[in-house]
Amino acid sequence: MITFYILALISEIIGTVGGFGSSVFFVPIATFFFEPKIVLGLTALLHVFSNLAKLILFWKHIDYRIFKLFGIPGIIGVAIGAFASVYLIFTYGSLMLGIFLLSFAILFLIRPSLKIAPTPKNAVTGGSIAGFLAGLIGTGGAVRGAAMAAYNLEKSAFVATSAAIDMGVDITRTFIYLGNDYLQAKEFSYIPMLIAVSFVGSWIGKRMLQQISQLMFRKIVLILIGLIGIVSIIHYLY
């Protein structure tokens, strides 16, 4: 399990720097160690503590207007997705998410001036889809990150606002998952180490952010979104 914890730490650091949470890397990694429902349960709990760490480190930078635009539809979306995960097997979820993320990243890296209009409609749509995917397949933060990129938030504000949105989303799905027995007594033994991973990874990620320019930060976000897409596609194929 040492390998698993090291990979989880790396996921947390990258998720903090990217601003869209660790689940985008943690979910594909965890599926090599656990069955799907355990992955969903562990991911939700990891994210709760991860978001708590980020809020402690970045809370002064939260943009409350964007939090409301993305957060409320995100909570509604994650509740629907989490309940759906109890009854559905989303066979092509990883492939579809991977193709979308990879295409988005390539498009915006090639045409950096291209932007999604920062309208309330796009924010609500992005928040809803991200929440639904988080509830159904365990990760959706990159979709929300893609929509939030249109607002050109300062890097600390991006991380803080994403964490605030995620907290509501992850608390909601955690209750639904636990209520449907996604985790048993054995899996709870992993939680203390995952809590440590979430705080250490967030702290390292914050230190790294302090050394990165705003322009470089945007490029890193797009590159990480593309890598997430590739990982999701590979995970589906193999």
Tens of pLDDT, residues 39-85: 888 888 888 888 888 888 888 899 999 999 999 999 999 999 888 88
1-5: average pLDDT = 84
For residues 218 and 149, the answer to whether their CB atoms sit within 8 Å is yes
Residue 89 pLDDT = 61
Mean pLDDT of 141-165: 82
**Virtual torsion, Cα 90, 25, 133, 92, nearest 10 deg:** -30
122 confidence band (pLDDT: 50, 70, 90): confident
The residue with tokens 């929300």 is 144
Confidence at residue 79, expressed as pLDDT on a 0 to 100 scale:
93
Q: Within the chain, where are the H helices?
A: 2-18, 23-30, 36-58, 64-87, 93-110, 120-137, 141-148, 155-179, 185-188, 191-209, 214-237
Over residues 113-120, the mean pLDDT reads 74
Q: Mean pLDDT over residues 134-160, rounded?
A: 81
The pair of three-digit structure tokens given for residue 25, joined into one six-digit string: 């890397």
What pLDDT score does 95 carry? Answer: 79
Q: pTM above the 0.75 mark?
A: yes
Query: What is the average pLDDT across 146-158?
Result: 82
Q: Quote the number of domains for the chain.
A: 1
Question: What pLDDT score does 115 carry?
Answer: 66
pLDDT given for residue 128 in this prediction: 92
Q: Provide mean pLDDT across the span 158-182.
A: 88
Q: Which residue stretches of 180-213 are H helix?
A: 185-188, 191-209
Give yes or no for a contact between 234 and 27, defined as CB atoms under 8 angstroms apart.
no
Whole-number average pLDDT of the chain: 83
Query: Is-contact 159 221, C-beta < 8 A?
Result: no
Long-range contact set of residues 74-77: C-beta below 8 Å, sequence gap at least 24: 74/127, 74/128, 74/130, 74/131, 74/134, 74/144, 74/165, 74/168, 74/169, 75/131, 75/168, 75/169, 75/172, 76/128, 76/131, 77/127, 77/128, 77/129, 77/130, 77/131, 77/132, 77/134, 77/135
What is the residue range of 227's domain?
Answer: 2-237
Of 91 and 83, the one with more pLDDT: 83
Tell me the pLDDT tens digit for each residue of 182-224: 888 888 888 889 889 888 988 898 888 778 776 777 788 788 8
Query: Residue 9 to residues 103, 115, 138, 158, 199: CA-CA distances in angstroms?
Result: 27, 32, 17, 21, 9
High-pLDDT (> 90) share of the chain, % = 9
pLDDT for residue 19 is more than 70: no
